[in-house]
Amino acid sequence: MEIKTITVTKGGERLDSYLAKSLDYSRSKVQKLIEDGFVTVDNKTAKAKEIVKENSVITVEIPKPKGLDVKAVDIPLDVIYQDDDVAVINKPQGLTVHQGSGTGDETLVNALLYHLDSLSGINGVIRPGIVHRIDKDTSGLLVVAKNDTAHLSLSSQIESKTCKREYIALLEGELKQDKGRIETFISRSTKNRTMMAVSSSGRKAVTNFEVLERKNGYTLCKFLLETGRTHQIRVHSKHIGHPIVGDPVYGFKNQKFKLNGQLLHARRLSFIHPSTKKLVEFYAPVPMYFEELLLKLGFKNYK
């Protein structure tokens, strides 16, 4: 166990933000340390959102990293780009990103451990390399960090919104607006704790949308995320009265088509490369099952 002591030279900032800068850690890693009781301020239990005061003494206990005990599994993986810092994966529908309750060893992380030579350790044993997630039944692009320096860079870009993520989805009904911005709070549903819901409090969620095409009672829509809340696009689509086709949780109860999940695909991803500092952009076309339904309904503007 390593112990670090920091004397605050300038107050007025949230504890988690202040520590992230002081320790050169991601904010999520600092929040985990605080949550697990490894941080005190003036010998008192700390809270992530408390405001630090000048001359306060912050004590941080940093546990020794555990060995990686999530096993590597030979699961087919579409790695569309890879170098020493990052890997960009085109995740298929049906694959969970990391282990959780009842997931077992059939996750993206298990596949990453098999196919890649290294992964960042910032998010611990269960989520090595994972900078951001997409839902199990959402397909498409996500970037994986292969070392801690790259992870910090990518996390910072997501927080500052310089990492751009574009999704495409097929919505129920014909959306009247051509484009717009959905800004709400999202929190856990009070009726079902496995679901998220628009609420009067919670975490701010912002989604920008643009209609690509309308056909036969459906809308093909492009989404750009400003925030990355759990189930954000799915919740916001339901909120505006046009849930995503095939969504078993937020969609219509009676689905017309036999699908294995929502028709939501992360098709474009761009970020500043951690080492070269150049903008890189990646594209993944919609999966075959998605394209087949679009063609059946007469859509053309999906590429």
Query: C-alpha dihedral over 150, 3, 68, 151, to 10 degrees?
Result: -10
Residue 135 designated active-site: yes
Residue 100: pLDDT band with limits 50, 70, 90 = low
Q: Please give the CATH topology (third level) of the domain spanning 79-159.
A: Pseudouridine synthase (3.30.2350)
Q: Please give the CATH topology (third level) of the domain spanning 2-62.
A: 3.10.290
What percentage of the chain reaches a pLDDT higher than 70?
A: 95
Give the DSSP H/E element, type plus range, for residue 33: helix 27-35
Q: Beta-carbon neighbour count of residue 124 at 10 Å?
A: 16
Give the sheet arrangement for strand 39-41, strand by strand: 2-7, 57-62, 39-41, 44-45
Cβ-in-10-Å burial (0-12, 13-18, 19+) of 9 comes to exposed
Return all residues near 264 (Cβ < 8 A) that are at least 6 apart: 135, 137, 138, 139, 167, 168, 169, 233, 234, 244, 247
Lowest-confidence region among 48-57, 114-123, 124-133? 124-133
pLDDT in tens, 22-34: 887 878 888 988 9
Let me know: does 20 contact 40? Beta carbons within 8 Å. Answer: no
Give the DSSP H/E element, type plus range, for residue 110: helix 108-115
Identify the residue with better confidence: 229 or 209: 209
pLDDT in tens, 137-158: 999 999 999 999 999 999 999 8
For the chain, the structural domain boundaries read 2-62, 79-159, 165-268+280-297
Q: In the 8-state DSSP scheme, what is residue 51?
A: B
Q: Please pick, among 83, 84, 117, 135, the residue that the annotation labels catalytic.
A: 135
Residue 126 clears pLDDT 90, i.e. is over it: no
Confidence (pLDDT) at 68: 47
Signed CA dihedral, 225, 229, 234, 239: sign only = negative
d(CA 83, CA 88): 9
Expressed in angstroms, the distance from the first to the final Cα of the chain is: 52
Let me know: does 261 contact 93? Beta carbons within 8 Å. Answer: yes
Which tokens sit at 132? 């951001």
Q: How far apart, in Å, are the Cα atoms of 56 and each of 2, 17, 38, 79?
A: 20, 15, 16, 47
Q: Beta-carbon neighbour count of residue 150 at 10 Å?
A: 24
Q: Which of 81, 15, 23 is nearest to 52 (CA)?
A: 15
Domain spanning 165-268+280-297, CATH architecture? 2-Layer Sandwich (3.30)
Question: Which residue type, as a one-letter code, is found at position 279?
Answer: L
d(CA 174, CA 187): 27
pLDDT in tens, 42-66: 988 889 999 999 999 999 988 765 5
